[in-house]
């Protein structure tokens, strides 16, 4: 797909901000050889080789030295000429090098602009472009591996197979429109319905895989309710196990930690700690509490943690009553090593109840399995590719149109139209059928330099 745009030369620091051994500036544009020569003092870098050089300012003074890489288009990430200046990774050096690039005619890149150009120049489709951001943001190894799979095109390939089958079926259906007398017989003979069913089955499979990928990407949002000392931190650590645990530990407005992130079997789990939800007159804290309640509204489930020697206390009960009634919940009775109860799963008042010990880890696996089951996660097998809500929505719409096509297949015009709509919905995933504003939204969420 080629939209019209003016390919200005763009530049950005591609490495993370701050100090590092090496800092990389990426430049993309048309015909960058003169640019490369100007910044390296007249050297002509050999394509795709590292050239050791000084980087010079306008007066011929060296700013830094390092490696210059030159990838002539179209065999580059963006499809344009790309330069990489690998200098020393200090903020001042990077700033001076970037200023020199601007002086040489480049402008600072917008977030995601390199990847957007790769998309516009057909180097990546939209699902692949999104997986670039997902790979960078991946919060677990499993998510990173699945993102890479999407980046390499596994997801797009599945979609293309579906679209190709849809096109074949559409050709058949549209051909019959020219023969209004015999169209139904014709469709029956050609087994149009059988083809439609197989298509639907395949779509359902892709939908299931994409759903697993979306869970891996978005993770699960858990509200943690529990009094001090019932073992919340201990349980979080026990759940996280060997997966490099607490990823972030965002401090609350005053004393309490409001949100934590752990990873369970590769699935990121965002924890909203209701310890921060108490009555207060402090204005700043009130805002924090308001935000926490908003997060509670969007949560996937609530985890109620109590000391099994005490059971549900009045305080826990009070928070429970304020939770959205439809929010699924799991009760956890901790410290069974002290109460002497047996670890394991039961059901109480219609909610699952897990007895466990965060200290001895008895029963922790039971809870893990229950949590993953409740959000519909069945494990990342080899086939899982990372997917986004946007993809799930598009797949769901395609499935709906296939249903309508099926329901009304004897009205051949409607049959044909529904198939067309199903194809459009699927093509949104790879970007072959996407509005410009959708592209804007997707790429603006990237970080700069990507
Ligand atoms: P939090 O305040 O809810 O985060 O509770 P902590 O995780 O800090 O635990 C409070 C205390 O209870 C600590 O001394 C823990 O070692 C202890 N504790 C937590 N879980 C268990 C458990 O399952 N068995 C026993 N015996 N002690 C536990
Ligand atoms: Zn989160």
d(CA 373, CA 441): 32
CB 330 within 8 A of CB 252: no
Paired with 25 in beta bridges are 13, 85
User: What percentage of the chain has pLDDT greater than the value 90?
Assistant: 46
d(CA 228, CA 133): 38
Confidence (pLDDT) at 49: 96
pLDDT exceeds 50 at position 249: no
Substitution site in 225, 229, 356 for ligand 1 pocket (most atoms within 8 Å of beta carbon)? 229
d(CA 184, CA 382): 42
Confidence (pLDDT) at 253: 37
Most confident of 322-326, 394-398, 408-412, 432-436: 394-398
pLDDT exceeds 60 at position 320: yes
C-alpha dihedral, 390 to 395 to 396 to 400, nearest 10°: 140
Is the torsion defined by CA of 331, 265, 376, 395 positive or negative?
positive
Tell how far the Cα of 268 is from the centroid of ligand 1, in angstroms.
23
The more confidently predicted of residues 98 and 181 is 98
Residue with tokens 């004897």: 410
Residue identifier of the C-alpha nearest atom 10 of ligand 1 = 229
CB 450 within 8 A of CB 111: yes
Tell how far the Cα of 331 is from the centroid of ligand 2, in angstroms.
22
Annotated binding residues for (6S)-5-formyl-5,6,7,8-tetrahydrofolate: 26, 84, 123, 450
Q: Transcribe 344-365 into DSSP letters.
A: EEEEETTEEEEE--TTT-TTHH
Annotated binding residues for K(+): 229, 248, 250, 253
Tell how far the Cα of 392 is from the centroid of ligand 1, in angstroms.
40
Phi/psi region, residue 138 (left: phi>0; alpha: psi -120 to 50; beta: rest), is: beta
Rg of the Cα atoms in the chain: 28
Confidence (pLDDT) at 380: 64
Query: Relative to the CA of 230, which ligand 1 atom is closest?
Result: 3
Secondary structure class of 22 (helix, strand, coil): strand
d(CA 252, CA 103): 44
Place 338 in a pLDDT band, splitting at 50, 70 and 90: very high
pLDDT exceeds 60 at position 245: no
Confidence (pLDDT) at 434: 64
Place 263 in a pLDDT band, splitting at 50, 70 and 90: confident
The ligand placed nearest to the CA atom of residue 361 is 1
Confidence (pLDDT) at 244: 43
As separate numbers, helices (DSSP H) first and strands (DSSP E) second, the chain gives 16, 14
Annotated binding residues: 26, 84, 123, 229-234, 248-254, 273-276, 357-359, 450
- What is the rounded end-to-end Cα distance, in angstroms, of the chain? 20
The ligand placed nearest to the CA atom of residue 270 is 2
d(CA 154, CA 386): 10
Candidate from 29-33, 114-118, 207-211, 316-320 with smallest mean pLDDT: 316-320
H-only helix segments in 40-191: 91-103, 113-120, 126-137, 141-151, 154-176, 183-189
Paired with 64 in beta bridges are 55
Which H or E run includes 331? strand 329-334
Secondary structure class of 189 (helix, strand, coil): helix
Could you report the per-residue pLDDT of 59-102, keeping only the tens digit for each?
Answer: 999 999 999 999 999 999 999 999 999 999 888 999 999 999 99
Confidence (pLDDT) at 258: 55
Confidence (pLDDT) at 382: 63
Paired with 222 in beta bridges are 271, 301
d(CA 27, CA 269): 37
CB 9 within 8 A of CB 105: yes
The more confidently predicted of residues 233 and 87 is 87
The more confidently predicted of residues 85 and 283 is 85
Residues with CB under 5 A from ligand 2 (ion): 270
Could you report the per-residue pLDDT of 98-137, keeping only the tens digit for each?
Answer: 999 999 999 999 888 999 999 989 898 888 888 888 887 7
Confidence (pLDDT) at 365: 94
Mean pLDDT of 181-194: 83
Tell how far the Cα of 386 is from the centroid of ligand 2, in angstroms.
17
Which residues line ligand 1 at a C-beta cut-off of 6 Å? Answer: 226, 228-234, 334-335, 337-338, 357-359
Place 295 in a pLDDT band, splitting at 50, 70 and 90: confident
Residue identifier of the C-alpha nearest atom 22 of ligand 1 = 335
pTM, entire model: 0.70
The β-bridge relationship of strands 301-307 and 220-225 is parallel
Secondary structure class of 162 (helix, strand, coil): helix
Q: Which of 213, 275, 273, 270 minimizes the C-alpha distance to 240?
A: 270
Residue identifier of the C-alpha nearest atom 19 of ligand 1 = 231
Which H or E run includes 68? strand 62-71
């Amino acid at each position: 797909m080629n939209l019209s745009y003016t390919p200005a030369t763009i530049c950005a620091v591609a490495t993370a901000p701050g100090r590092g051994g090496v800092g990389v500036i990426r430049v993309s544009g048309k015909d960058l050889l003169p640019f490369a020569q100007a910044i390296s003092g007249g050297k002509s870098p050999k394509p795709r080789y590292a050239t050791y050089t000084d980087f010079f300012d306008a007066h011929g003074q060296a700013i830094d030295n390092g490696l210059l890489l030159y990838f002539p288009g179209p065999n580059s990430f963006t499809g344009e000429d790309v330069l990489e200046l690998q200098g020393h990774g200090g903020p001042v050096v990077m700033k001076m090098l970037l200023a020199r690039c601007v002086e040489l005619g480049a402008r600072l890149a917008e977030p995601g602009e390199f990847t957007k150009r790769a998309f516009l120049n057909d180097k990546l489709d939209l699902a692949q472009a999104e997986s670039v951001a997902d790979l960078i943001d991946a919060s677990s190894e499993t998510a990173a591996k699945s993102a890479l799979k999407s980046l390499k095109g596994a997801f797009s390939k599945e979609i293309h197979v579906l679209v190709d089958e849809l096109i074949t079926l559409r050709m058949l259906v549209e051909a019959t429109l020219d023969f209004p007398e015999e169209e139904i017989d014709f469709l029956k003979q050609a087994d149009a319905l059988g083809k439609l069913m197989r298509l639907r089955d395949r779509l359902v499979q892709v939908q299931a895989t994409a759903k697993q990928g979306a869970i891996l990407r978005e993770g699960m949002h858990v509200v943690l309710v529990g009094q001090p000392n019932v073992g919340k931190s201990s349980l979080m650590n026990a759940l996280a196990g060997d997966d490099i645990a607490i990823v972030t530990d965002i401090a609350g407005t005053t004393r309490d930690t409001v949100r934590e992130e752990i990873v369970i079997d590769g699935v990121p789990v965002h924890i909203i700690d209701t310890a921060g939800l108490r009555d207060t007159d402090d204005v700043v804290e009130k805002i924090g509490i308001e935000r926490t309640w908003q997060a509670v509204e969007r949560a996937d489930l609530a985890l109620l943690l109590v000391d099994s020697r005490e059971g549900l206390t009045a305080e826990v009960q009070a928070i429970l009553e304020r939770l959205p009634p439809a929010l699924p919940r799991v009760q956890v009775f901790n410290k069974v090593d002290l109460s002497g109860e047996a670890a394991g799963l039961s059901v109480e008042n219609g909610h699952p109840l897990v007895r466990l010990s965060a200290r001895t880890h008895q029963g922790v696996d039971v809870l893990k399995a229950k949590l993953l089951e409740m959000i519909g996660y069945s494990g990342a097998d080899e086939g899982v590719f990372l997917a986004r809500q946007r993809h799930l929505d598009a797949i769901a719409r395609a499935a709906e149109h296939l249903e309508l096509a099926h329901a009304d297949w004897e009205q051949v015009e409607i049959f044909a139209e529904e198939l067309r709509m199903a194809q459009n919905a699927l093509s949104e995933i790879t970007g072959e059928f996407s509005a410009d504003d959708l592209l804007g939204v997707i790429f603006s969420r990237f970080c700069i330099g990507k």
